[in-house]
Amino acid sequence: MANIFNTLFMVKVRGKDSIIGKTVRIRRPETFRIGRNSIVDDFTYISCQVRIGRYTHVGAGAHFIGGKKAKITIGDFCNIAPGCNIAAGQNDYSGGGLVGPAIPKGYGGEPILEPVEIGDHCLLGFNVSVLAGVKLPEGVAVGAYSLLKPMAYKPWTVYAGVPAREVGTRNGVMIKQQAMKLMKDVESGKL
């Protein structure tokens, strides 16, 4: 049996100056991609295909789950706070079969797989849970302990609650200007 926990050398794409904590667990490192200057903190667990953009931070103890075929995409300049749970796959609990990854093929129900997409400049507060099929447009911010289910979300809007509901807006123009300034300084060699 292979040790699935010492496989950072197998990460498919790793951007310049990216950091992956020593205790991060990536079940399928060959499907994991992380962009330039991004960080995945310790005690994070990843069991599905994940693509993380540039200048993005994933806090300690996050969980990205869904299995072999599930996909999670996180854009540039995002912050995923500690303890967030993002599920791109889940079991069908309606009685179509036995449940869980330890059940042999043919005995379980069909999994529900829907990609999760988190756009550029999105922020997820402490312990936010994201269900399969959620698509967050650019600039969405979500308050701590919120639950995101599939629905229409507006760009540059703040959501909070269980389930999450709209509670405010963000200044997308100023945030994008700062991102452009940062990228320009990187390209010119100032950073």
CATH number, domain with residue 147? 2.160.10.10
- Is the residue at 3 inside a domain? no
Residues 6 or more apart whose CB falls under 8 angstroms from that of 15 comprise: 34, 35, 36, 37, 38, 54
- Is the residue at 1 inside a domain? no
pLDDT score for 3 = 45
- Is the residue at 93 inside a domain? yes
Q: Which domain holds residue 117?
A: 8-188
DSSP-based three-state secondary structure for 83: coil
- Is the residue at 100 inside a domain? yes
pLDDT score for 100 = 76
- Is the residue at 142 inside a domain? yes
Query: What's the pLDDT tens digit per position in 91-142?
Result: 777 777 888 778 888 887 777 899 999 999 999 999 999 999 999 999 999 9
Nearest CA among 112, 156, 163 for reference residue 133: 112
Is the preceding peptide bond at 137 cis, omega within 30 degrees of 0?
Answer: no
Residues of the chain with pLDDT under 50: 1-3
Number of domains making up the chain: 1
pLDDT score for 50 = 97
CB atoms within 10 A of CB 64: 29
Give the C-alpha separation, 17 to 105, whole Å: 40
* Token couple for 67: 């299995």
Give the C-alpha separation, 108 to 177, whole Å: 49
